[in-house]
Chain A
Amino acid sequence: MAADEPKRVWLTPVPEEARAWQGRSAGLVSRTVASVLDLGLVLAVLGVGYLVVCGAVLVTDPVRFHFPSAPRHAVVGLAIGVAILYFAVCWRISGRTYGDRVLGLRVTRRDGRSLGWARALLRAAFCTLFPVGLVWVAVSPARHSIQDLVLRTTVTYDWSTHTRMARE
């Protein structure tokens, strides 16, 4: 910083011991835990949706009610669709899914800008259909997954609550 530049002080809600980590690339464990939380959320949404359908069937025809069933590939397809939609919308709007929010992570482009719709959708599809790509985080010195390398994105620690990138 030049001597004549005014001194800038940033107020941050981030606890003192975590401030040094902010903006650094997140590692395998944090990202895996976040993904597991997101997977749980998607499954919960599907379960709630199934219960809603059951309730609707019960209300319309209570006498001949039985739990509706669907072909396995249809259920899997629906789950994948819901997951892709969920990831894409979250990453486009706030850069973080529920799991990312709990773990204090944020998904951005390499230059720190938020993802556009196309990139968010591609990343969501790539992460959902090829989750093993996350393992590359452990190998990559820059902690990039396969998805990050292909789509030029990054996942950083960001405990701040605002939508802008945290600064140290």
Chain B
Amino acid sequence: MDVVLGLAVESVRAGLRAGRRLHRATRPVAGFLLRPDHRVGQRLLALAETGQRGRKVALDELTAAYRKVVPVVAADVVRQLDLADLVTEVAAEIDLPEIIRVSTGSVAAETVRDVRVQSMRADEAVAYWTGRVLRPWRTG
């Protein structure tokens, strides 16, 4: 592991040294070519300006196209989405009515709920025992 790290550090150092040497070697040539009063330099500057203008125009056109297309695409996506169904499914998944009921339920509501549940259980018990008495041949 250390060998690999050492190799990586040496590689980076070598790259930096090579870059500095290349920069020193090409600096006189680049300075000569890019002088404003030099013909080649003027050509290069004009080319750069043309490129800059082209880039700006292309960027403006792209922005305009983007602003035209995105609302249409977004509207289409929203139209194809069944938001009502989606919301309903999410609300059912998290059991929103239960959360609301628990968080806002009053003592009276809880009492009524308990009475209902107890009555239903009593119904089941009555049905079970009358079934056992009246229909003993039935199992389950």
Contact = CB atoms under 8 A, between A and B. Distances in A.
Interface residues of B, number: 26
Given A17-B117, A103-B116, A12 B123 contact: no
Interface in B106-139: 112-113, 115-117, 119-120, 122-124, 126-127, 130-131, 134-135
Interface in A22-48: 26-30, 33
A10 B96 CA distance: 12
Nearest to B98: A16
A27 B98 contact: no
Interface in B49-74: none
A30 B123 contact: yes
Interface in B77-109: 85, 88-89, 91-92, 95-98, 101
Interface string A111-148: 00000000000000000000000000011010100000
Given A16-B95, A102-B112, A21 B120 contact: yes
Contact of A30 (B98, B119, B134): B119
Given A138-B126, A139-B130, A13 B120 contact: no
Contacts, number: 67
A138 B12 CA distance: 90
A159 B130 contact: no
20 contacts: A7-B89, A11-B96, A14-B97, A15-B101, A15-B113, A16-B95, A16-B98, A18-B116, A18-B117, A27-B123, A27-B126, A27-B127, A28-B123, A30-B120, A102-B112, A103-B116, A138-B127, A141-B131, A143-B123, A159-B116
Interface of B: 85, 88-89, 91-92, 95-98, 101, 112-113, 115-117, 119-120, 122-124, 126-127, 130-131, 134-135
Given A13-B101, A27-B120, 16 more contacts: A9-B88, A9-B92, A11-B88, A11-B91, A11-B96, A12-B97, A15-B98, A15-B113, A26-B123, A27-B126, A30-B119, A30-B122, A30-B123, A33-B115, A139-B134, A143-B123
